[in-house]
A and B are shown apart, each in its own frame.
Chain A
Amino acid sequence: MSRIAAALGDGAVIAKRNLIKIKRVPDILIFVLISPIMFVLLFAYVFGGSIDIPGGSYREFLIAGIFAQTVVFGATFTGVGLADDMQKGIINRFRSLPMSRAAVVVGRTASDVVYNVLSLIIMALSGLVVGWRIHNGFASALAAFGLLLLFAYAISWIMAFVGLIVPSVEVINNAGFMVIFPLTFVANTFVPSQNLPTPLRVFAEWNPVSAVTQAAREGFGNLPVGTPEPTGWALESPVLYTLIWTLVIIAIFAPLSVRRYRTMAHRR
């Protein structure tokens, strides 16, 4: 069996094990499902009244931003899950089995796609309730969801690496928030990036979270005529820019995470 086939086959066994855990510990799932609803309501009703989007409605503008933010946040689960696994006895079992050395990380990032699918469904439903609509047809909306999931999958690999280098589960939550908050807020997620002060605006325009948000808005048709046109190559070709980031992140962090897992000292 080739190495890649082994990683995928064994990864599937591990992913199944992670998914059983979601079923057995539904508290995690409830958090995954409730927090996007909270975000939708919070931004639609608390901030929404004060933010004016020329040409369209804030709620239409907002939802894609919340999609992007939530799936990126969801990546912390990957880190938490792995950090948690590494502290448990089960990891010594895995390390003594003739399984692919990549399977634990491959399986974890794969099972976390399921979290993101669930939270996207919940968010889309709550978005529809507060007035968000898909205007460009089903196929292009589906493509937009696909791109969001792909991007989230890439971020999962970053958090997988972080989860393998931190000493404990608590650290990863704090470390994750420190990176993910600026990344998801200094972007066009909640406000159009044009209004930001110059240094932040430049950051926002090249921030891949902005690109994936922009791509999703285009896919859903949430950018009616009159919405401020973004500037910069990244936001003018958001799909391509997002795909480039996705590939680069996976190309860097997948081998790094797998290597880290392989060489990780026997913790005990």
Chain B
Amino acid sequence: MTNIIEARGLVKHYGEVKALDGLDVSVPEGTILGLLGPNGAGKTTAVSILTTLTSADAGSATVAGADVFSSPGEVRKRIGLSGQYAAVDEHLTGFENLDMIGRLYRLGKVTSRQRARELLDRFDLADAADRPVKTYSGGMRRRLDLAGALVAETPVLFLDEPTSGLDPRSRIELWAIIGELVARGTTLLLTTQYLEEADRLADDILVIDHGKAIAHGTANRLKDMVGGERIEVTVGDHDLSNARSVMSTFSLGEMQVDERNRHLVVPVSGGAAALTQALRSLDGAGVEVRDVMLRRPTLDDVFLTLTGHAAEEEESVEELV
């Protein structure tokens, strides 16, 4: 299988900050790569370089057979980009935006118009097609922006955090649309800080942190890297230390303990049998169990194991500031 996107050793500095530190990316034809990482990991920088918006300090990259640095014009003909901030003109109507993009891809007048109407229909924007984008909701703008990336039916698509900041319903709608695209064989590079999104959409996940790849594989393979199931248990007010010593006998690795919420995450093996046993032991030790569950590892666990911090923690810090 040939790689449609192939980058080697990308390095990018912004002043003192090393945004990318030797990143390799390869995406085989017709697959989706999820570039997963917290804010500031270098996801947008990587997309900016691969879409010719930004130069790199070192490294090489080709997209759909064209060299990103020596023939950026050729690359631009073969890609569609939808960014994390909706790149649409708010004074233009939805139709005018897509028509303009079609003209700039040089599709010609007739094709541009036809394509704009088609996409507006498909993205459920037909009713709002002739209203200025200013009057659109956030979800509608994102859909229009995504439609903009599809105008020329390019073989490669880059979607930079396509659903960040969207409400859950809009997010699910957008996921459905992205799912359809892939069914048509488009090659897609998707960045996200939502683990669920990468899990759901991507064939392959590249986890990056501080501008470097720290893991690569399918969602299942990444989950296997951090082991089997987990028991999550929440205990009564004075039972935490007791629960800790009981559960340590079941734990296959390091337990995560949240003291404030009296919550324990314990890596185990043996499934339901392990859960039954653990509950018996807790009961025997007089620990009040308020909530308990058995689950497969999530990408959150992967992240925590690989980086020592949660994927979305930096985002929540930013939100507090």
Contact = CB atoms under 8 A, between A and B. Distances in A.
Given A17-B89, A17-B92, A90-B89, A96 B79 contact: yes
Contact of B76 (A24, A91, A96, A265): A96
Contact of B77 (A16, A17, A91, A98): A98
Interface of A: 10, 13, 16-17, 20-21, 24-25, 88-99, 103, 265-266, 268
A16 B102 CA distance: 14
Interface string B92-110: 1000100011011110000
Given A13-B103, A92-B83, A96-B76, A266 B48 contact: yes
B257 to A, nearest CB: 39
B280 interface: no
Interface of B: 44, 48, 51-54, 73, 76-77, 79, 81, 83, 85-89, 91-92, 96, 100-101, 103-106, 132, 148
B76 A17 contact: no
A164 B263 CA distance: 54
B52 to A, nearest CB: 7
21 contacts: A13-B100, A16-B100, A21-B89, A21-B91, A24-B132, A25-B91, A88-B89, A90-B89, A92-B53, A92-B87, A93-B81, A93-B101, A96-B52, A96-B76, A98-B73, A98-B104, A99-B104, A103-B104, A265-B54, A266-B54, A268-B44
Contact of B53 (A13, A24, A95): A95
Contacts of B53: 92, 95-96, 266
A13 B97 CA distance: 11
Contacts of B83: 89, 92-93
Contacts of A94: 104
B91 A24 contact: yes
B192 to A, nearest CB: 18
B132 to A, nearest CB: 6
Contacts of A25: 91
A21 B91 CA distance: 6
